[in-house]
Structure 1
Amino acid sequence: MALTVNDVDRFTASRPRLEAIAYRLLGSASEAEDAVQDTFLRWQTADVDRIEVPEAWLTKVLTNLCLNQLTSARARRETYVGEWLPEPLLAGDPMLGPADTAEQRESVSYAVLTLLERLTPNERAVYVLREAFAYTHREIAEILDLTESACQQIFHRAKKHVADGRSRTEVDEAAARRIVEEFLAAATSGQTDLLVQMLTKDAVSIGDGGGKVPARAKAFEGAVAVAKFMRGLFKPSQAKRSLVGGSAEVYVTTANGAPAVVAVVDGRVVGVMCLEITTEGIVAFRNQVNPDKLHRATGRWAADDHGEPLYTAF
């Protein structure tokens, strides 16, 4: 049955919410877009006049598509080259979804998206639907074909896993940005001691090159090791310029709701470094340099005015 204009409009109105759900579930903007498109294809072939609550029907279809994707993604990531990190979204990207509550903002943070990778597909789905989109346990049970009590148990288990990985208190946005700028000043000065003082003792640095860009297969761990890596990372060299296709302009901006460092070459985003900053210091650097995961960031970057770069690197 062909869709009417009204049927298409109903789906279009739901698309931003569906994309935001899919991104949180999959950690990939491109895969989220594919899942939403597959949901639309099912909407096209459904008897929409008999669907009483389109929003609930679409959410159920999308979530189950994402669950299938997560199951297959786990197998693919076993052969992924190096560390796997989510695709970062820059400030203003509509796929970030709602950000009215602390829970919603945290659910899309780069740190939490990384932690969600440790959950089972069902745990991830329940956590995202409940924490980020305020679905009731009854609604989630209907979406996932589970009992309400099972959903409650899954949610508490998932929330505990996330909380255990986020046991430190973060600083406010203004303070975090200042710390990022101070970090860049220390990193470009080449003074390792200054960097060490800004990091927690158990700081880590993780890079995702996807086999397309050189990135260490294992994370750097400990303040000294991370500081030495950062000192080398920001040291200019012809090899780095050749790798990224020129000198990179470096900006401090926001990715997934938290301060980030973005490197741009001729309008193309070549790296996004997401920092996890707490009252104790910088806990983690998560560096996305896989070009396959930076297409959307490049498009978003071109849509905004960012002023002058903090400095030119490499």
Structure 2
Amino acid sequence: MDHATWLADRFEQQRPQLHAVAYRMLGSLSEAEDAVQEAWLRLSRSDDETISNLGGWLTTVVGRVCVDMLRARQARREDYVGTRLPEPILGLDEVDDPAHQTEVADSVGLALLVVLETLTPAERLAFVLHDMFAMSFEEIAPMLDRTPAAARQLASRARRRVQGSPTVPDTDLATQRKVVTAFLAAARAGSFDALVAVLHPDVVFRVDTGARTRLAPALLTGSVDVARQAAAQGPRFARHCRLALVNGTAGIVARTATGVIAVAGMTVIEDRIITIDLILDPDKLNTLAPGGCGPDRVSEVSS
């Protein structure tokens, strides 16, 4: 085996971890892949014989690349009608791609990624690498040109923001399915009372249209307003919906003959839905439709 092939093999061993870091940093599968590819390019141009810890070196590169990408994203500040939501990871049949199914199981919920979007790039890096990947602040600090104490403070601020938001769903997937199924049945029937019963009183409903035309309310809060909207639009829209895994938890995918038209991630806490993140942005859904990766990218969750 020549050196180039050996180095490529070692990089591929690190790729899943690097992609997991990048997705949590960027909330975008395509941008995460770009960040990982940039790490490979930098590795291929470096003197790898001087790298004693390849995994740590690559994670440092990916972390810095992600911070730069987040800062560039903030600088251009695209106008969104609603909340800018992450690209979803949808469940896939294990027989088709067990590696992707593992990725889904290990993914973080959309609600948490939405909160991470409110952090500064430095806060996000410190929190993601320390709290999610158990890296020390001594390792994180050089990526940010900060001291370990400053990196610790960044992670602490981020942690308070995360802990102050409902981002951790009930762990029982069967319960999640039951609650989301009840929501979908109530929406199909246009039943306001049944919708209120399955929604948390403080539910938050966020919509990402990815367009300048308002296709839906950008943000609704409270069970009454969310139930009213779902009851009004549900009978027409819900007929296209099926239960699916969205970022490892029970959610909804809407699909027509043309492909996936919407994905909704839901956070179920104490048997009620407390967040709904509805993605209508075609740019985030086009790889899930025919012509992209095909409809087999989506596997419905049996109830």
Could you list the per-position Cα deviations for residues 59-79 of structure 1 after superposition, in whole angstroms to 9, with x for gaps in the alignment?
Answer: 111111110110111233352
**Structure 1 residues 229 and 217: alpha-carbon distance in aligned structure 2, compared to 1, 3 A threshold:** closer
Contact 1:59 1:143 in 2 (8 A): no
The alpha carbon displacement at 1:156 in A equals 1.7
**Structure 1 residues 198 and 261: alpha-carbon distance in aligned structure 2, compared to 1, 3 A threshold:** same
The equivalent of 1:276 in structure 2 is: 267
The equivalent of 1:79 in structure 2 is: 79
Contact 1:110 1:256 in 2 (8 A): yes
TM-score, normalised to structure 2, is 0.86
Counterpart secondary structure, 2:251: strand
> Which residue among 281, 296, 301 is the counterpart of 1:302?
296
Q: Does 2:152 correspond to 1:152?
A: yes
Query: Which segment is superposed worse, 89-98 or 143-152?
Result: 89-98
Contact 1:98 1:132 in 2 (8 A): no
Counterpart secondary structure, 1:271: strand
Aligned mates of 1:132, 1:287 — CA distance in 2: 25
Could you list the per-position Cα deviations for residues 109-158 of structure 1 after superposition, in whole angstroms to 9, with x for gaps in the alignment?
Answer: 11110001111111101111112212122222243332222222222221
The equivalent of 1:32 in structure 2 is: 32
The equivalent of 1:285 in structure 2 is: 276
Contact 2:90 2:298 in 1 (8 A): no
The count of aligned residue pairs is 293
The equivalent of 2:139 in structure 1 is: 139
Q: What amino acid does structure 1 have at the position aligned with 2:282?
A: P
Q: Does 2:49 correspond to 1:49?
A: yes
The alpha carbon displacement at 1:261 in A equals 0.5
Aligned mates of 2:53, 2:101 — CA distance in 1: 23
Contact 2:173 2:249 in 1 (8 A): yes
The alpha carbon displacement at 1:280 in A equals 6.3
The equivalent of 1:14 in structure 2 is: 14
**Structure 1 residues 167 and 303: alpha-carbon distance in aligned structure 2, compared to 1, 3 A threshold:** closer
**Structure 1 residues 217 and 248: alpha-carbon distance in aligned structure 2, compared to 1, 3 A threshold:** closer
Counterpart secondary structure, 1:234: helix
The alpha carbon displacement at 1:212 in A equals 7.3
Contact 2:104 2:247 in 1 (8 A): no
Provide the identity percentage. Answer: 35
Contact 2:198 2:273 in 1 (8 A): yes
Counterpart secondary structure, 2:164: helix
The equivalent of 1:227 in structure 2 is: 227
Please give the residue correspondences for 1:76-155 in structure 2 after superposition, counting only pairs within 5 Å: 76-91=76-91, 94=100, 97=103, 108-155=108-155
Query: Which segment is superposed worse, 74-83 or 17-26?
Result: 74-83
Aligned mates of 1:80, 1:228 — CA distance in 2: 24
Q: What amino acid does structure 2 have at the position aligned with 1:161?
A: R
Q: List alignment gaps of at least 5 residues for structure 2.
A: 93-98
Please give the residue correspondences for 1:63-78 in structure 2 after superposition, counting only pairs within 5 Å: 63-78=63-78
Aligned mates of 2:104, 2:249 — CA distance in 1: 15
The alpha carbon displacement at 1:90 in A equals 1.2
The equivalent of 1:199 in structure 2 is: 199
Counterpart secondary structure, 2:59: helix
Q: What amino acid does structure 1 have at the position aligned with 2:175?
A: A
The equivalent of 1:243 in structure 2 is: none
Q: Does 2:249 correspond to 1:258?
A: yes
